[in-house]
Amino acid sequence: MALPALELLEQHGFNLNLYGKGWARILLSGYNWHFTRRQDNALRDRLKDLRAIRLQSLHLDPTFDRRINALSFPNSFSSALELRLSGHKVCGYSKDGRSLLLSKRLERLQDKHVLITFWHLACELTGRHEVPPPANIGFKLSQSAQDKALALLAQHQLDGKPFACVVPFATGMMYKFDKKWPYFKELTQSLSKELPIVICPGPGEEAEAEQFGQQATILPGVPLDVYAAILARTSLTLANDTGPGHLAAAVGTPLISILGPTDPEHWAPWGTNVTVVREWPQWPSASTVHNTALRLLPS
């Protein structure tokens, strides 16, 4: 969701140094940005990495320390604390008691999509608040990821053929309700009669994926950038409120986002290619989602 904000900063001449979880480096292989993995060990090690980024930036630009030089996209206390202790001047939303850690404090935008809140942070640095976010993300894929995706699809006789990707996984709760749609098995059984189904389980999801083994091709252990390239080649993706759903929207594939307690005004996947199916406080039926899929599939 922060990708349009990052691209906006790059377009305005900012040299980006990204700092975050290790999977992001793989996911963003199509972008020529410097990336430092946030370590899971002691705070002093994380501060050492952040100080190294700051010193390198100062070497390239002696004015680096004289202005806001870091954006904290997460709203967590720890993200602001680590940046502040490493000497950065941080811009972020004043939430979770972290106001004193921020050099520039913003009030969180109310009733806005999360992508817009990230965009607003970037606009604080560019000074161009009149520029709206893009209607579509346009996620960039590396050539290597595309080549590996094609090879994997060819291995399973799916290259050049229409297929759908189903994402039946979801973790966490929203307002104390499960985010996982309960009818994926029924949907996969019916939809597999129309076209081949692909499921790409992440770490820890392999056992759950096996229950779909008779109706779908299961591709475990796919790197995130290759997964994105596979999603870009699907005729249709169907997903819960989960990361691969947002990724499908970002690469531009037709997506059915099946939402329950998740508020689409704030958290729906972003893009004109997204169809949200939601009947909360009830879940939509398998037949409702199946019929929606039939309308979206190429004739």
CA-wise closest residue to 296 among 271, 278, 274: 274
150 and 275 belong to one structural domain: yes
Question: What pLDDT score was predicted for residue 210?
Answer: 96
Instruction: Tell me, yes or no, whether 195 and 65 share the same domain.
Output: no
Last residue of a domain, one of 68, 94, 126: 126
Q: 160 and 120 share a domain?
A: no
Element (H, E) at 209: helix 206-210
Number of domains forming the structure of the chain: 2
Please tell me whether residues 196 and 263 are part of one structural domain.
Answer: yes
Residues 122 and 196 in one domain: no
- 173-174/177-178 β-pairing: antiparallel
Residues 87-101 have a mean pLDDT of 94
**pTM for this model (two decimals):** 0.95
| Amino acid 108: pLDDT | 87
Regarding whether 93 and 25 lie in a shared domain, the answer is yes
What CATH number is associated with residue 33?
A: 3.40.50.2000
Indicate the SS3 state at residue 165. Answer: strand
121 within a domain of the structure (yes/no): yes
Secondary structure tally for the chain: helices H, strands E? 12, 13
Q: Is residue 135 part of a domain?
A: no
- Using one digit for the tens of pLDDT, what is the confidence trace for 202-249? 999 999 999 999 999 999 999 999 999 999 999 999 999 999 999 999
Residue 137 lies in a domain: no
Residues 56 and 86 in one domain: yes
Coil, helix or strand at residue 108: coil
Q: How far is 229 from 232, CA to CA, in rounded Å?
A: 5
132 domain residue, yes or no: no
Which domain range does residue 164 map to? 143-296
User: Could you give the CA distance from residue 99 to residue 5 in angstroms, rounded to a whole number?
Assistant: 22
Whether residue 122 sits in one domain with residue 150 = no
Whether residue 118 is found in the same domain as residue 151: no
Q: Rounded distance, CA 4 to CA 1, Å? A: 7
Exposure string for 161-181, b = 16+ CB within 10 A, e = fewer? eebbbbbbbbeeeeeeeebbb
pLDDT at 175 (0 to 100):
80
Tens digit of pLDDT for each residue in 121-180?
999 999 999 999 999 999 999 999 999 999 999 999 999 999 999 999 988 878 888 999
Residue 2 has pLDDT above 80, yes or no: yes
Domain end position, chosen among 77, 92, 126: 126
- Same domain assignment for residues 241 and 119: no
Nearest CA-CA partner of 182 in 288, 290, 292, 285: 285
In a domain, 222, yes or no: yes
pLDDT score of 30 more than 80: yes
Q: In this structure, are 149 and 279 located in the same domain?
A: yes
Measured CA to CA, the distance from residue 203 to residue 205 in angstroms comes to 6
- Do 57 and 172 lie in a common domain? no
**Of 93, 126, 159, which closes a domain?**
126
Q: Which tokens go with 192?
A: 């597999």
Q: How far is C-alpha 136 from the geometric centre of its chain's CA atoms?
A: 13
265-272 — which CB contacts under 8 Å span 24+ positions? 265/111, 265/113, 266/111, 266/112, 266/113, 266/114, 267/113, 267/114, 267/241, 268/113, 269/239, 269/245, 270/1, 270/113, 270/115, 270/136, 270/137, 270/246, 271/135, 271/136, 271/137, 272/135, 272/136
